[in-house]
Amino acid sequence: MNASSPFAANGNVLIVGGGLVGASLAIALDMAGCHVTLVEAAAPRADAQPSYDERNLALARATVNGLNAIGVWPLVAAQATPIRHIHVSRAGEFGSARLDAARHGVDALGWTLPARELGSALLRRLDTCQHLVRLAPASLTALESHADGWRAEIKTEQGVQHIDAALLVGADGTESFVRAQLGIETDIHDYAQTLFVCTVTPERDPANRAWERFSDEGPIAMLPLAERRCGLVLTVPSESAAEVAALDDAGFIALAQQRFGWRLGRLSRPGKRHPYAIRRVASRRLTATRAVLVGNAAQTVHPIGAQGFNLGLRDALTLAELVAAATDPGSPELLEQYASRRAPDREGTMAMSHDLVRFACMPQPWLAPLRSLALLAYDRVPPLQQALARRGMGFRGEPPRAVLERLP
Ligand SMILES: Cc1cc2nc3c(=O)[nH]c(=O)nc-3n(C[C@H](O)[C@H](O)[C@H](O)COP(=O)(O)OP(=O)(O)OC[C@H]3O[C@@H](n4cnc5c(N)ncnc54)[C@H](O)[C@@H]3O)c2cc1C
């Protein structure tokens, strides 16, 4: 980042939404010396923010590089668990694809970290920002455009404030109010699936392995966590969600065991279960006049591919890189550059997440040999294996410079 950004004197950036992506963007822009206001509806505590919850995030290697570059990773690295091996398979079929960090010359393909820990590190890092104005709890309630940007009406506990911005950033999540006010339409796909997230203790040490396993009922993932525990992500058809929610611990473990199998021996001690209904929401445009969308406001993807925050951070760091080097943060040229730089990564990642879930979970028997062959090809054909590893580690499209920096 350019510490003496010429942008500083040229207008305010208003970020609406201080979730994982908005907070990361605010920190990156603060490092570049930009004038930024961050507005977040929840109080600035990890237990108040809706997405700083018990979900376990699989963070790609590129994401960890990015979090390191903005000074967040050193605050949270001790709580993260390295992922050194990934195993992808489908119940009842012969093919599988494996990724191995050592084979690709790295110490880890990614890391697992509870969202609550990352959220709390972001809040601590925000406290050290030098130029940033933070309003929380505070909500954007109305927007008015003017010649040089936007006038935002912000409701705070002290009353209503108005903020002028040369660039408005919608980082306000899947139901983005900013996106609606800008008149940006979305394409929505309801997977008719509900995802249950909790921790479990397996009999055998997961030993830094992550699994993704598909079946007719939906995907299941197992992520390695500290103290030999695992983060379980179990997807069920939405029509059985109420039944699964009502299961006692023994019933839930029996279901998880049946779906995951016995690779880790007997599963036990399930933590509190959190259900999430799954929809894909893709904005038809990323920008409008002096406005841009990032993170879930721009695209919400199926969580099973573990791409949402990884993709959103690349949105944020690409935008920060462009704004830091610009004289006008909301110029049409900058917005066009942002949209075209993000397009290949965004479209590729969205397509991969969507196609993976649909193709891998379709019950048609004639698909079985095709799926097995595809997985075997990714496992055995070196260029395919390399492409899979590079994408799995989050290096897609034209990555922001911050993600290419080396870990300490
Ligand atoms: C179960 C589950 C597991 C997941 N696992 C992974 C994973 O392994 N890896 C991965 O990369 N991703 C994962 N994801 C996705 C990831 O959690 C999201 O992509 C990420 O949280 C999106 O961050 P965001 O900041 O864009 O949006 P959010 O986290 O939704 O934040 C939006 C913020 O905007 C605020 N806001 C909304 N409206 C207003 C307003 N009008 N004014 C002010 N503030 C407002 C909200 O309070 C909120 O804090 C998972 C998601 C789920 C559900």
Please report the pLDDT score of residue 362 as a whole number. Answer: 58
Please tell me the residue having the least CA distance from ligand 1 atom 15: 308
Tell me the β-bridge partners of 291.
168, 288
If you average pLDDT over residues 58-80, what whole number do you get?
95
Which ligand 1 atom is the nearest neighbour of the CA of 60? 11
Please report the pLDDT score of residue 326 as a whole number. Answer: 93
* Residue 20 CB–ligand 1 contact under 6 Å: yes
Substitution candidate for ligand 1 out of 16, 20, 123 with most atoms within 8 A of CB: 20
Q: pLDDT tier at 395 (50, 70, 90 boundaries)?
A: confident
* Residue 119 CB–ligand 1 contact under 6 Å: no
Name the average pLDDT for the chain: 88
Q: Where are the domains of the chain?
A: 12-188+279-404
Distance CA(206)–CA(152), nearest Å, equals 49
* Residue 197 CB–ligand 1 contact under 6 Å: yes
- CA dihedral 89→91→93→94, nearest 10 degrees, is 50
Distance 278 CA to ligand 1 centre (A): 13
For 333-355, the pLDDT digits (tens) are 999 999 999 999 999 888 887 77
Given a cut of 90, whether residue 206 has pLDDT beyond it is yes
* Residue 19 CB–ligand 1 contact under 6 Å: yes
* Residue 195 CB–ligand 1 contact under 6 Å: yes
If you average pLDDT over residues 104-124, what whole number do you get?
93
If you average pLDDT over residues 222-228, what whole number do you get?
93
* Residue 64 CB–ligand 1 contact under 6 Å: no
Least confident stretch, 3-7, 112-116, 139-143, 231-235: 3-7
If you average pLDDT over residues 360-368, what whole number do you get?
59
Which ligand 1 atom is the nearest neighbour of the CA of 115? 17
How many separate helices (H) and strands (E) can be counted in the chain? 12, 21
* Residue 58 CB–ligand 1 contact under 6 Å: yes
For 145-155, the pLDDT digits (tens) are 988 899 999 99
Distance CA(125)–CA(211), nearest Å, equals 32
Please report the pLDDT score of residue 408 as a whole number. Answer: 37
Distance CA(238)–CA(191), nearest Å, equals 9
* Residue 252 CB–ligand 1 contact under 6 Å: no
Given a cut of 70, whether residue 369 has pLDDT beyond it is no
Distance CA(364)–CA(358), nearest Å, equals 11
* Residue 299 CB–ligand 1 contact under 6 Å: no
Q: pLDDT tier at 380 (50, 70, 90 boundaries)?
A: low
Given a cut of 50, whether residue 285 has pLDDT beyond it is yes
Please report the pLDDT score of residue 357 as a whole number. Answer: 67
Distance 49 CA to ligand 1 centre (A): 9
Which residues are CB-neighbours of 290 under 8 A, at least 6 positions away? 145, 148, 149, 150, 165, 166, 167, 168, 330, 335
Architecture, CATH, for domain 12-188+279-404: 3-Layer(bba) Sandwich (3.50)
- Using CB atoms within 10 A of its CB, is residue 266 exposed (0-12), middle (13-18) or buried (19+)? exposed
Query: Is 209 in contact with 248 (CB distance < 8 Å)?
Result: no
Which ligand 1 atom is the nearest neighbour of the CA of 63? 11
Whole-prediction pTM: 0.92
Please report the pLDDT score of residue 8 as a whole number. Answer: 37
Given a cut of 50, whether residue 33 has pLDDT beyond it is yes
Please report the pLDDT score of residue 10 as a whole number. Answer: 43
Distances from the Cα of 269 to the Cαs of 32, 116, 200, 373, in angstroms? Answer: 46, 20, 6, 36
Which ligand 1 atom is the nearest neighbour of the CA of 154? 42
